[in-house]
Amino acid sequence: MQEEKEKIYQFAVDKFLREGFYKTTMDDLASQLRMSKKTIYKYFSSKEVLVKEVVFSFLSARAEQIKAIVDADDNAVIKFFKLVEYLGSIIIKFSDRWISDIQLYTPDLWKEIDKFRAKMMYANLMKIIRQGINEEYFVDKSAEIIVTIFVSSVRAVVNPDFIMNNKFSVSTALDSTLEILMNGIMTEKGKKIFNRLKAEKINEPD
């Protein structure tokens, strides 16, 4: 039974992130999964329940990976670089249709997503920023202020309204925001490491 539920969930994750969810019916899912609609309803009582499960299971799994990056034995600049790379690899999975569907059809769910990511960012960024200040890679300013600026900026730029109205990709919006903010808080010592990591990334073989 668990395998059956997981099959439905994994299929829904892939389909919803690529194509959005609004135009997909439970009949569509049943047909493409080659199982009865009754079987899907056994695990997910409605499409809304399935969408919510997709969103929060996806976020929770990524939160564990982010925690692993933050808790690793690296300096703060390397941690931040890895965090940006990981977030980029997640966001690239999100289609414009998925973002649009969240904005137009599930605004209450978007509010929950926003609260979840804000809480996650505060907890993890605070650790990195404080470490970076102690290592003298980040400017010696209030970690609370720095983190609040970061979180507020990401919430303002990486959200459906801004993305849809300005025709940025989510990945571009996130990369630009974080690079601007990082350059604002890093010391020269920190920038040297950050620029080296960027150069190594650019020169990686495809």
Return mean pLDDT, the chain.
87
Proportion of the chain above pLDDT 70, given as a percent? 96
d(CA 4, CA 199): 45
Given this model, what pLDDT does residue 202 score?
65
Proportion of the chain above pLDDT 90, given as a percent? 44
Category of 20 on φ-ψ map: left (φ > 0), alpha (ψ -120 to 50) or beta: left
Given this model, what pLDDT does residue 52 score?
92
Query: What are the structural domains, with CATH classification, of the chain?
Result: 54-202 (1.10.357)
Going by pLDDT thresholds of 50, 70 and 90, the confidence category of residue 204 is: low
Given this model, what pLDDT does residue 94 score?
76
Q: Count CA atoms within 13 Å of residue 166 on its CB side.
A: 13
Mean pLDDT computed over 87-98: 76
pLDDT of 176 higher than 60: yes
Tens digits of residue pLDDT in 13-33: 999 988 899 999 999 999 999
Mean pLDDT computed over 104-118: 86
3-state secondary structure of 140: coil
